[in-house]
Amino acid sequence: MQNFIHAYSWLNMHYLLQGLGVTVLVSVVSIVFSFIIGGCLGLLRYVNIKYLSPIVGFVIDIIRNLPLLLIIFFTYFGLPNLGLKPDVIPATILAMTVFESAMVAEIIRSGIAAVDPGQMEGARSVGLSYAQTMWRIVLPQAIKKMIPPLVSQFVSLIKDTSLATIIMLPELMYHAQIIYGQNTNYVIPMFVMLAILYFIVCYALSLLSRLLDRRLSA
């Protein structure tokens, strides 16, 4: 018990929360970027433009099937060889965005594909243009189907920011490792606190999505 009280001293907690701030910052920026880019790529893949869409689809499949850790290593250690040297935070955001955009693109594509084709045909035959149908008829229905997988993807994104400890991104996990590295008595308290903090952030996002889900279906 004494260990826990010492481990959760104001100084340590402040340091951990600083790390949590970086985790949240990197996550939010990556979520926004990957939602925009992934949305565009997913649409591009769905509308099936000759030559372009299959190539985009293949690149998406390749990125989706690589470990995120490898992409992080590549952006931070591999890109400098090619003449680009990003800082730690931009490198993490870049790696996360590349990986998560591919994941989001697949979710968006399969969400649109899951909408009954009759909807598109019906709307077109009433005289709406393709773009109008997409925007007003198909996408609103598809979004409802996309929300649960998108949210679990973004929860994964938040969890996966911890992988960037390996390039010394000063986020939650990295700060916790520094604290328990100083004193072995702090190991268990730190892991407990890590679990609690990550759980709060991730679970809050899941609850938010449930709320959103209820709003949309009401």
**Which of 3, 18, 162, 183 is the binder for other proteins (CB under 8 A)?**
162
Closest approach, Cβ 62 to other proteins, in A, equals 6
**Of the two residues 64 and 124, which places its CB atom closer to other proteins in the complex?**
64
Give the C-alpha separation, 100 to 2, whole Å: 42
CA-based end-to-end distance of the chain: 48
Q: How many CB atoms neighbour CB 84 within 10 A?
A: 11
Cβ neighbours for 145, distance < 8 A, ≥ 6 positions apart: 111, 114, 115
**Interface with other proteins includes 2 (CB under 8 A)?**
no
Closest approach, Cβ 202 to other proteins, in A, equals 4
- Within 75-114, which residues bind other proteins (CB under 8 A)? 77-82
Closest approach, Cβ 197 to other proteins, in A, equals 10
**Interface with other proteins includes 147 (CB under 8 A)?**
no
**Of the two residues 133 and 153, which places its CB atom closer to other proteins in the complex?**
153
Give the C-alpha separation, 142 to 137, whole Å: 9
Q: Are 133 and 124 in contact (CB under 8 A)?
A: yes
Report, in this order, helix, strand and coil percent for the chain, each rounded to 5: 85, 0, 15
**Which of 135, 203, 211, 216 is the binder for other proteins (CB under 8 A)?**
203
- Within 52-81, which residues bind other proteins (CB under 8 A)? 61-62, 64-70, 73-74, 77-81
